[in-house]
């Protein structure tokens, strides 16, 4: 197995190699679309199941809406349409026929042209609000708290596995409310659910904030987000939650009778996370040897590797290994006993390091004599020898420790890479030399934001929600600023 | 709430009304595409989770492949392409732009035409085998046992909710094997998994069989299937499992080195079930009052309805009802206590009957005095009064009884509607007057099969696998037949 390019040598190359070599995903025969391989999909399934649990816990239900959006619905909410028109796949025909010039080929049948073009959903506000129109008459029909797990398509020109693909998997929540306050509360709540998921399940620290008007979702009045910091000092938007005001209700004429008997438009939110989180996971924790996975997301949490010469030794080790496996499984830990005889232990060690299995247990003939095993942690690459007695409880605790340590390490890295700067010179210097989040003053205008983006490629990731407000003067215009905002180059 | 059209009056209308009124699904603003509403989706989720568990138990893993199939890949396996070309959605452009004649409208940007058209997957053999090509070099890479949960599109002209929609949700297994025998074994195994799921989870009896050549999946060498019988005497194909031979391996040049060092093409299977099963579920069990759900698939298994006058009575009843609810939940039973004060008990009774909640518990002031409740079964509409003591264990057993009784009822109906006939006259008479499965002799030719279909609309649903073989002479040609096959009109 050839080694990975190191992160320090070429971070981007390291990422691309890791995604492919760890069997997470690969490019497909379709431009910009990926194949999510079984090992990668198993991790995504764990993310999905945990988020789904959290959504249901907070009162949401799942449903499914059509893949296609007729053009007339797509264009109804103007800002939203404008935001997505440049990158959408369009279905124009519904049939192929045999090529009269070459019977083994097919061509689009010109007689099967659709009366109205269908857009492959880049997001589902339009199709969903067109449906909600029939579901909402009275305040009694509200709130509607629906989530959808689906695929969406955004025609990206430069794609990268998980981070930016033409098709990706995601969840999109779409809620309708009787009051503005309730909708805002929902948008905030779901952003908090995302933050909780990112930190406590993905072991990935995030900063919660609001997007500036120019970075908002097309059609939103306010966009909440969680921003994570990758190891190369670039930020990654890990989830967004939008307060949509009455924009979609007005575009699709969704009105209801409120408690006072007056007719008004419904208030909306939408919120989403996607397979992009797989990219965030990789770039938060992994190292030059391969994936590092928090135990919560590891398809295999513990691997047992026997070290043996000949059948007899393998049999003796197997007996004990299978006992250990059974005890760990009884504690709900996923274990693989790798008794394959084709590959050497060294090869297996490297393979499970690459795949990010959190704990490796190695057992040889001498361990058998001593009733001991060698335990190796994937996250910090430390090893220790432990007795087989009480191993199951020890491993159970160890997995919790690893989960915490992985988070702490990422948290420390993130915090060490937030730099407060007060001048534009300093801003550019830090961005160039160190990267990371830069915490600086901004005058609140789209002009200054745009100039900084053009000159440095850094964008305002968010206006943080949780920090102390501190006044100052903005980087370029020198105008007074009420608070610092968070800049970074971003994925 | 207006009553449903009765089944005897108009079965088709009954079905359509029930799907909408029970909040399972509705037609969307997109031709032929449905919205699966939260209650319907909750049932589908239960189907999906159980099937997913069974697939994993039998060694399969999930993955995800692209939504789009480039035309050149789509047409590679000729029979498969021919089978689906007439009903596929085609993406030809990747961008919209503002209509120069009307700035509030969008038009397809003629400058954004794709070099190669993309087909929205009607099934994924092509895209998947194009991927497997890179995964398979040696017999050591086999078998590949992958399943995918996805949406697919088949441009149907006449659509019906769940039964036939342009877009539907499904799972598609795609496996690759080193030998023909192993692939056939896999195709049979998955057909058995489907049968087990249908009978033991959906409480829907099925007949396992093989399709005739003209009813096979386009590109298959053999199609296994499970066939169910609906209440109106029409059959419904509930799942299919295909032995694909080397057809796709040859079309996509997927070769491997076998154990003997020789190079050969891989052997394939694919197998699928879809949201069509929702239609099968409805038409197997439900009645004129609404849905009847087996407890395994009921989003709410038990509903508790308080019967009260005034706040005080409600409070007294609530106290006991919440205790019952807690005890039932502790047994893993999903319970809803409906303490809504807007709707009367009678309305609630009708609503939960419509929604198919298997057990209803009603509690009034007199029940409170007697420490009793009224228990109503949805499946057979019987009622009884029981003591509150030991109620949780009683309900737990009752749910099992209901599951069994629902299956038995459907089994009896199905068996009572299989008619053996020996002449074509009798065949037509039974088909007209009774419907159901007709068990008759066929000469094995496509001609006779076609003639029967043209003249009666009945098709050969399958050549059953599990029955005793009995020789005879065929219906029309009078040629010798080695075994009876199963005919029916079908959904």
What confidence tens digit (pLDDT) does each residue in A121-166 have?
999 999 999 999 999 999 999 999 999 999 999 998 899 999 999 9
Q: What secondary structure letter does DSSP report for A221?
A: S
Residue with tokens 């407000």: A469
> Choosing among A65, A112, A169, A248, which should be mutated to test the B contact, i.e. which has the most B CBs within 10 A?
A65
Q: How many CB atoms lie within 10 A of CB B401?
A: 12
Would you state the structure tokens that stand for residue B213, as one six-digit string?
Answer: 């050549």
Tell me how far apart the alpha carbons of residues B470 and A432 are, in angstroms, rounded to a whole number: 83
Give the DSSP letter of residue A141. Answer: G
Show residues of chain A in contact with B96, CB under 8 Å.
Answer: 71, 74, 81, 85-86, 88, 90, 119
Residue A278 has pLDDT above 80, yes or no: yes
For B56, residues 6+ apart whose C-beta sits below 8 A from its C-beta are none
Contacts of B154 (CB under 8 A, 6+ apart): B84, B87, B88, B122, B166, B168
- Contact between A96 and B28 using a beta-carbon 8 Å cutoff: no
Structure tokens at B283: 């038409």
Question: What CATH code is assigned to A300-400?
Answer: 3.40.50.800
Provide the CATH number for the domain formed by B23-285 in this structure: 3.30.930.10
Nearest to B90 among A36, A64, A93 (CB): A93
Do A155 and B104 make contact, defined as CB atoms within 8 angstroms?
no
Q: Given an 8 Å threshold on Cβ–Cβ distance, is B29 in contact with A87?
A: no
Inter-chain residue contact B94 with A94, CB threshold 8 Å: no
What does the pLDDT average to over A386-415? 98
pLDDT of A81 over the 70 cut: yes
3-state helix, strand, coil in chain A (%, to 5): 40, 30, 35
Q: Which residue of A has its CA nearest to B103?
A: A78
Determine the residue of chain A that is closest to B275 in CA distance: A64
**CA distances (Å), B408 to each of A355, A396, B402, B403, B412, in order?**
49, 46, 10, 9, 6
Q: What SS3 string covers chain B? A: CCCCCCCCCCHHHHHHHHHHHCCCEEECCCCCCEEECHHHHHHHHHHHHHHHHHHHHCCCEECECCCEEEHHHHCCCHHHHHHHHHHCCEEEECCEEEECCEEEEEEECHHHEEEEEEEECCCCHHHHHHHHHHHCCEHHHCCEEEEEEEEEECCCCCCECCCECCEEEEEEEEEEECCHHHHHHHHHHHHHHHHHHHHHCCCCCCEEEECCHHHCCCCCCEEEEEEEECCCCCEEEEEEEEEEECHHHHHCCCEEECCCCCEEECEEEEEEEECHHHHHHHHHHCECCECCCCHHHCCCCEEEEECCCHHHHHHHHHHHHHHHHHHHHHCCCCEEECCCCCCCHHHHHHHHHHHCCCEEEEECHHHHHHCEEEEEECCCCCEEEEECCCHHHHHHHHHHHHHHHHHHHHHHHHHCCEEECCCHHHHHHHHHHCCCEEEEECCCCHHHHHHHHHHHCCEEEEEECCCCCCCEECCCCCCEECCEEEEECEC
In angstroms, rounded to a whole number, what is the distance separating the alpha carbons of residues B313 and B304? 15
For position B468, what pLDDT does the model report? 76
**Which residue's structure tokens are 């503005």?**
A180
- Collapse the DSSP code of A392 into the 3-class scheme (helix H, G, I; strand E, B; otherwise coil) and give the result: helix
By C-alpha distance, which of B183, B184, B54, B168 is closest to B121? B168
If residue A454 lies in a helix (H) or strand (E), which one and from where to where?
helix A446-456
Contact (CB<8Å) B120/A120: yes
Please name the member of A66, A75, A94 whose beta carbon is closest to the beta carbon of B105.
A75
Residue in chain B lying closest to A64 (CA)? B36
- Distance in angstroms (rounded) separating the CA atoms of residues B278 and B283: 9
Asked whether the beta carbons of A200 and A213 are under 8 A apart, the reply is no
C-alpha neighbours within 13 Å on the C-beta side of residue A141: 16
The whole-angstrom distance between residue A433's C-alpha and the CA centroid of its chain comes to: 27
Structure tokens, B430: 């039974």
**Domain B295-401 CATH superfamily:** Anticodon-binding domain (3.40.50.800)
Q: What residues of chain B lie within 8 A of the CB of A98, using their CB?
A: 85
Rounded distance, CA A434 to CA A124, Å? 39
Residues 6+ apart with CB under 8 A from A468: none
pLDDT in tens, A347-382: 999 999 999 999 999 999 999 999 999 999 999 999
Kindly determine whether residue A64 and residue B41, on different chains, have CB atoms separated by under 8 Å: yes
The answer to whether the Cβ–Cβ distance between B66 and A94 falls below 8 Å is no
In tens, the pLDDT along B357-400 reads: 999 999 999 999 999 999 999 999 999 999 999 999 999 999 99
Strands B61-62 and B68-70: unpaired
pLDDT, position A208: 98
Closest chain B residue by Cα to residue A86: B95
How far apart are the C-alpha atoms of A37 and A162, rounded to whole Å?
12
Strands A255-257 and A235-245: unpaired
Of B28, B62, B86, the CB nearest to A127: B28
- Cα atoms found within 13 Å of the Cα of residue A255, Cβ hemisphere only: 7
* Rg from Cα positions in chain A: 26
Contacts of residue B33, defined as CB under 8 A and 6 or more positions apart, other chains included, come to A66, A67, A68, B27, B165, B166, B167
Q: Is the pLDDT of residue A231 over 90?
A: yes
CATH H-level superfamily of A11-67+127-285: Bira Bifunctional Protein; Domain 2 (3.30.930.10)
Pairwise CB contact (< 8 Å): B118 & A30: yes
Across the interface, of B75, B106, B134, the residue whose CB is closest to A105 is B75
> Across residues B301-306, what is the average pLDDT?
98
Nearest neighbour of B66 by CB, restricted to A28, A42, A119 = A28
DSSP label at residue A139: G
Residue A194 predicted with pLDDT over 70: yes
With CB atoms and an 8 Å threshold, state whether A127 touches B30.
Answer: yes
* Nearest chain B CA: its distance from A158 CA (Å): 14
Q: Which of A86, A96, A144 to mutate to test the interface with B (most CBs of B within 10 A)?
A: A96
- CATH architecture of the domain with range A418-488: 2-Layer Sandwich (3.30)
Give the residue with greater pLDDT, A469 vs A264. Answer: A264
Which residue's structure tokens are 């539907």? Answer: B168
Per domain, the residue ranges of chain B are 23-285, 295-401, 418-488
Task: Over range A251-267, report the average pLDDT.
Answer: 97
Taking CB atoms and an 8 Å cutoff, what residues of chain A touch B94?
A: 87-90, 155
**CB B85 to CB A66 under 8 A?**
no
The pLDDT value given to residue A1 = 58
Residue to mutate among B21, B71, B96, with most A CBs inside 10 A, is B96
| Min Cα separation A94/chain B (Å) | 4
3 state SS of A213 = helix
Q: Which residue of B has its CA nearest to A91?
A: B91
- Smallest CA–CA distance, residue A144 to chain B, in Å, is 10
Assess whether pLDDT exceeds 90 at residue A401.
yes
Nearest CA in chain B to A117: B108
Contact residues, chain B, for A92 at CB < 8 Å: 90-93, 108
Give the number of C-alpha atoms closer than 13 A to the C-alpha of residue A55, restricted to the C-beta side.
Answer: 25
| Distance separating alpha carbons of residues B335 and B356, to the nearest angstrom | 13
Query: Cβ(A74)–Cβ(A141) under 8 Å?
Result: no
R_g over Cα of chain B: 26
SS3 A21: helix
A38/A23 Cα distance (integer angstroms): 8
Per this entry, what is the length of chain A?
A: 491
pLDDT band at B466 (very low <50, low <70, confident <90, very high): confident
pLDDT confidence tier of residue A78, bands split at 50, 70 and 90: very high
For residue B381, what are its two tokens? 């509409």
* Residue B217 token pair: 């999946």
Contacts of B34 in chain A (CB under 8 A): 66
| A130/B29 Cβ within 8 A | yes
Structure tokens at B199: 């009978």
Q: Are the C-beta atoms of B113 and A92 separated by less than 8 Å?
A: no
A2, pLDDT greater than 80: no
Tell which residue, B376, B354, B361, has the closest CA to residue B306: B361
| C-beta atoms of B151 and A151 within 8 A | yes
Contact A68 B117 (CB under 8 A): no
Residues B375, B387 contacting (CB under 8 angstroms): no
Nearest to residue B355, comparing CAs of B435, B440, B298? Answer: B298
Look at strands A207-210 and B207-210 and give their pairing: unpaired
Taking CB atoms and an 8 Å limit, are B69 and A151 in contact across chains? no
Contact B123, B150 (CB under 8 A): no
Say whether B86 and A96 touch across the interface (CB within 8 A).
Answer: yes
DSSP state of A140: G
pLDDT at B157: 87
B110: distance to nearest CA of chain A, Å? 11
Q: Which residues of B touch A175 (CB under 8 A)?
A: none
In 3D space, the residue among A178, A174, A185, A175 whose CA is nearest the CA of residue A138 turns out to be A178
Yes or no, beta carbons of A88 and B75 under 8 Å apart: no
Q: Quick one: pLDDT at residue B1?
A: 58
A30 contacts B69? CB cut-off 8 A: yes
Nearest CB to A95; choose among B70, B86, B127? B86
The predicted model gives A107-116 an average pLDDT of 97
Q: Cβ contact (<8 Å) for B41 and A34? A: no
Contacts of B87 in chain A (CB under 8 A): 94-95
Contact A237, A446 (CB under 8 A): no
Chain A residues close to B75, C-beta within 8 Å: 104-106
Q: What is the pLDDT of residues A18-49, one digit of tens each?
A: 999 999 999 999 999 999 999 999 999 999 99
B220 — phi, psi (to 5°)?
-95, 150
CB contact under 8 A, A85 and B68: no
Compute the count of residue pairs across chains A and B with CB atoms less than 8 Å apart. Answer: 192
Dihedral angle over CA of B429, B430, B435, B440, nearest 10: -120
Examine the pLDDT at B467 and tell me if it is beyond 80: no
Distance between CA B354 and CA A333 in Å, rounded?
42
Q: How far is CA B395 from the centre of its chain?
A: 28
Q: Per-residue pLDDT for B433 more than 90? A: yes
- Give CB contacts under 8 A, 24+ apart, made by A431-436: A431/A456, A431/A458, A431/A487, A431/A489, A434/A233, A435/A232, A435/A233, A435/A234, A435/A488, A435/A489, A436/A229, A436/A233, A436/A488
């Amino acid at each position: 197995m050839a080694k990975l390019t190191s992160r320090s040598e070429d971070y981007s190359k390291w990422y691309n190699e890791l995604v492919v070599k760890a069997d997470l995903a690969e490019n497909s025969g379709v431009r910009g679309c990926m194949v999510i391989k079984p090992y990668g999909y198993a991790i995504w399934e764990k993310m999905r199941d945990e988020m789904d649990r959290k959504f249901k816990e907070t009162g949401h239900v799942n449903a499914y809406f059509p893949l296609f959006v007729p053009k007339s619905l797509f264009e109804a909410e103007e800002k939203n349409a404008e935001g997505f028109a440049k990158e959408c796949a369009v279905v124009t025909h519904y049939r192929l026929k045999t090529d009269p010039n070459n019977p083994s080929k097919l061509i689009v049948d010109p007689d099967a042209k659709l009366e109205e073009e269908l857009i492959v959903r880049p997001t589902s506000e339009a199709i969903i609000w067109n449906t909600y129109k029939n579901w909402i008459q009275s305040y009694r029909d509200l709130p509607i708290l629906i989530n959808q797990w689906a695929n969406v398509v955004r025609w990206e020109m430069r794609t990268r596995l998980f981070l930016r693909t033409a098709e990706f998997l995601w969840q999109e929540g779409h809620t309708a409310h009787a009051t503005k306050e309730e909708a805002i509360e929902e948008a905030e709540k779901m952003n908090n659910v995302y933050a909780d998921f990112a930190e406590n399940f993905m072991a990935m620290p995030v900063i919660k904030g609001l997007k500036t008007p120019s970075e908002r979702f097309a059609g939103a009045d306010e966009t909440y987000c969680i921003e994570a910091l990758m190891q190369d000092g670039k930020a990654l938007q890990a989830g967004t939650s939008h307060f949509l005001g009455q924009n979609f209700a007005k575009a699709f004429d969704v009105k209801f009778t409120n408690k006072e008997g007056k007719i008004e438009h419904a208030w909306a939110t939408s919120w989403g996370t996607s397979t992009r989180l797989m990219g965030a996971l990789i770039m938060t924790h992994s190292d030059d040897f391969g994936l590092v996975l928090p135990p919560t997301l590891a398809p295999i949490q513990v691997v047992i590797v026997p070290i043996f010469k000949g059948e007899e030794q393998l049999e003796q080790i197997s007996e004990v290994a299978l006992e250990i496996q059974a005890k760990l499984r009884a504690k709900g830990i996923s274990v693989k006993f790798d008794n394959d005889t084709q590959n050497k232990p060294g090869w297996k060690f490297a393979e499970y390091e690459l795949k990010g299995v959190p704990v490796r247990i190695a057992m040889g003939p001498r361990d058998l004599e001593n009733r001991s095993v060698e335990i190796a942690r994937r996250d910090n690459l430390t090893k220790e020898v432990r007795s087989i007695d009480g191993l199951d409880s020890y491993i159970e605790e160890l997995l919790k420790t690893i989960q915490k340590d992985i988070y702490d390490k990422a948290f420390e890295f993130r915090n060490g890479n937030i730099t407060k700067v007060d001048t534009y010179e300093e801003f550019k210097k830090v961005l160039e030399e160190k990267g990371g989040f830069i915490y600086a003053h901004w005058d609140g205008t789209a002009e200054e934001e745009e100039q900084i983006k053009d000159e440095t490629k850094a964008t305002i990731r968010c206006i943080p929600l949780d920090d102390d407000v501190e006044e100052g003067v903005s980087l370029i215009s020198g105008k007074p600023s009420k608070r610092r905002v968070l800049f970074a180059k971003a994925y």
